[in-house]
Amino acid sequence: MKTFSQLNEESVDSLNRLGHNGKYNNKRLKSLARPYPAFEDFDLEEWQGYPPPLNNSTVTHNELRYLMSLGSKRKVWKAEMTMYDKKVIQPFKDYLDEFGIEVNWDRIKELNYQRGSIILSLKKYYNRVRPITLAKKLELPLDTFPLKTADTPSYPSGHASSGRLVSLLVADEAPLEHRKNILEIGERISDSRMVAGAHYPSDTAFGKRIADELYRLSKVRGLEPDLKFEGLEFDLEMMLREAPEFSGTDETTNALELTGFIDDQISSISGDVQTDPRAKSSNGSKIGVQIILDPDDRIKFTTMAKGIITSDPDLTLRKVSSSRSTKDFAFNHEKLDKYVYVNTRPNTKRGGGATADPNELMTAALCTLTTFDKVNTVEEMDALIDRVRKIIPNKVEGYTALELSSMDNDYENLAKAVSAARVIIKNGHGGASKVYLTAKAWHDDVSGFKRTKYGMADFNASDFIIKKGNKYIGISLKKKKSPKTADPTIINNSLFALLRKSGVTGASQVADDLEVGAGEFYIKIVKKAQRYQRRFPKKAVDKNGNPFLDKETLKDLGKRGTGINQKTWKKFVQRIPNEFINSQLSKSTATILKPMADAIVDKADIFADILLEIIIKSTLRELKSVNFEYALVTGIGRYLKSGIVVDKGDYYPVDVMATKLDELFETGKPNMKLNSNKTQAFDRGATSAIVHFDLFVGKTKISDLQLRYKGNFQSAPSFQAQLSKEFKEALK
């Protein structure tokens, strides 16, 4: 088996010239010549400017290895791969027939028919070699599922474009409650070609990107609203998100935007992106950025960030010193002269130092047991920790030495771990033969269960995965001190990223409009800070005594603030103290949070549908076909001077939650409302910059939601959520 590093220059050139050698039959030739009047504004020449990764690139090599890893799924996917091979329309028809839904099939089929001409033209132009041919050249052991329609060049994927376009067109005509399922059919059609080994992930991504543009054009020619769907979404797990276009020319601002883009994709961890203020953090070759995190999340965040960078065609991961490699990361962007160095810094919530949170490790190890005695005294707690320590090397994968050493005397986390483990064992998942922690990396045994959705690299938010026999269950683990303590947040998603990656009609346009509104609001804030500093220079200082705006910023702004506009506002906002911005967000009825709240209420059906899926993760039910389940678990306990207190943990399996939602859908549609019992950020007397919502299905409240900034005001505010008391009662 060859690696790319073993190829000499001549063989590299030969490898990159390797293309598809198949001939086009008469049917294909006629398709190439066929016009596409519905998409006459499609600029074919422009779309010839997005070439696939080179055959000798690391991206292509990783894509081949990813396809190799999917081989084990082919048995489960056999029926679908066979159907989708020749009958892309059929699964949509079957679904609509089941629910008695009628759509304009003549129009949909005609648009899909014309799509075929465009796709085949691009296939011929790029002439990318199929994965199986390249794998043989590189002596990689890739096997494929036999297909009848894999006889054309690989890039872009015709099935991905067809599945995506048809799903969008069908979903537009079907009732809203079916939209998610219809779009999921399109996703499975796309995915089936990768499972079969017929397409690289980048083929799939480009096919979807083209479909989104064709869908947009179909709406334009129908004199319907111009919809903007963000494109090129693929990664090595399923899809990759493309780094954003820069809003200006300031490299520091662009570095912050890129880091915020990475942060947005890691929905399970809340970070605060800032310029690194330390001396020498930035110089002639690098831009220093810091992200403030809970101390326990730094390693997990860094690991996930590196994966996102590695799979993005515009970003290149750089090495950092071995002493910082688990907590810092660095990258280049093709349009930045300097590289970006991101330092993860601990917040002050639980201190820092050479410690780690061992809660997940403790809980994981306890799940290998079927029972264990109650603990109360220090001696009993120490004995249980010793027992866990002996289990870990043989039955737990993915832990760190720091987590192992941090277990000593950590009775607070032990109480929560015991609570969580007991409820997991009670639900039939004790006696695990192996447990895989995912914070540092997903072990090869379980990497096939990863899922990317709505731009979230961690849509499958399992903190650890239990293996028992041939069955697996992913546990999203939270913790709290007592049953009366507020529930921990189960999502943390950027508003704009959520909209742009949703695939829901009109959502991307809502994000665009809100972002323009945010720019207008922050331009006013910066100018207000400038005026305030001019009139009250002694008061316009931060908590360290520094002026709101330094001399360089004032110079860039100009005397009347003419230097700030929609393209430059982000670089100015990051220079103003957060406390000043927060005061403006919470004391003014003109706050940007008000139009955001109004837009959410106005488009409540869009937001409710997206947020329901992100909170409940109903689509993870599909993994039951490969013996994988998923559950939200909260360990509840604390350590007092009188001893350890362990309360009953919360356990909510996705299958039960999704089934309950299906029942509730019979009573009404998803909806969102402002919480009338809470003081909103734009209400008189508000003390915090938070907007509170209730998420309903019918009349049942599913979740308590908050919209708030995480601290980085250049990015969008984020949704945070907890399951409501009503929904938890309904699950019992």
Cα separation, 672 vs 2, whole angstroms: 55
**433 pLDDT higher than 90:** yes
Residues 302 and 207 in one domain: no
Residues 207 and 265 in one domain: no
Residues 209 and 80 in one domain: yes
In a domain, 691, yes or no: no
Question: Which of these three, 580, 601, 622, is where a domain ends?
Answer: 601
**416 pLDDT higher than 90:** yes
**5 pLDDT higher than 60:** no
Helix 593-602 / helix 604-616 crossing angle, nearest 10 deg: 90
Residues 41 and 155 in one domain: yes
Task: Summarize pLDDT for 539-578 with one digit per residue, the tens.
Answer: 888 777 788 888 888 888 887 788 888 888 877 887 777 7
Q: Residue 84: name the closest of 240, 198, 181, 180 by CA.
A: 198
- The CATH code of the domain that includes 314 is 3.30.460
**329 pLDDT higher than 70:** yes
Residues 180 and 83 in one domain: yes
pTM above 0.85, yes or no: no
- The CATH code of the domain that includes 178 is 1.20.144.10
Task: Report pLDDT for 581.
Answer: 77
Residues 216 and 267 in one domain: no
In a domain, 526, yes or no: yes
**531 pLDDT higher than 50:** yes
Measured in whole angstroms, the distance separating CA 320 from the mean position of its chain's CA atoms is 25
In a domain, 277, yes or no: yes
In a domain, 135, yes or no: yes
Residues 211 and 259 in one domain: no
What's the number of domains the chain is made of? Answer: 3
**25 pLDDT higher than 50:** yes
Domain coverage including residue 562: 507-601
In a domain, 124, yes or no: yes
Residues 154 and 35 in one domain: yes
The mean pLDDT value for 648-675 works out to 94
pLDDT-based confidence at residue 118 (cuts at 50, 70, 90): very high
Measured in whole angstroms, the distance separating CA 555 from the mean position of its chain's CA atoms is 39
In a domain, 703, yes or no: no
Task: Report pLDDT for 712.
Answer: 60
Residues 210 and 97 in one domain: yes
Pairing between strand 471-480 and 628-640? parallel
Task: Report pLDDT for 428.
Answer: 95
pLDDT-based confidence at residue 643 (cuts at 50, 70, 90): confident
Q: What is the DSSP annotation of 628-662?
A: EEEEEEEEEEEEETTEEEEEEEEEEEHHHHHHHHH
Q: Which residues contact 269 (CB under 8 A, 6 or more apart)?
A: 293, 294, 297, 300, 301, 304, 492
In a domain, 61, yes or no: yes
Residues 79 and 182 in one domain: yes
Task: Report pLDDT for 353.
Answer: 41
In a domain, 246, yes or no: no
Task: Report pLDDT for 203.
Answer: 94
Residues 209 and 79 in one domain: yes
166 vs 89, 123, 215, 224, 237, CA distance in Å? 8, 20, 9, 18, 24
Question: Which of these three, 221, 242, 259, is where a domain ends?
Answer: 221
Residues 196 and 282 in one domain: no
Please say whether the beta carbons of 169 and 91 come within 8 A: no
The mean pLDDT value for 410-425 works out to 95
Rg (CA), the chain: 27
Q: Which token pair is 273?
A: 């992106």
DSSP 447: G
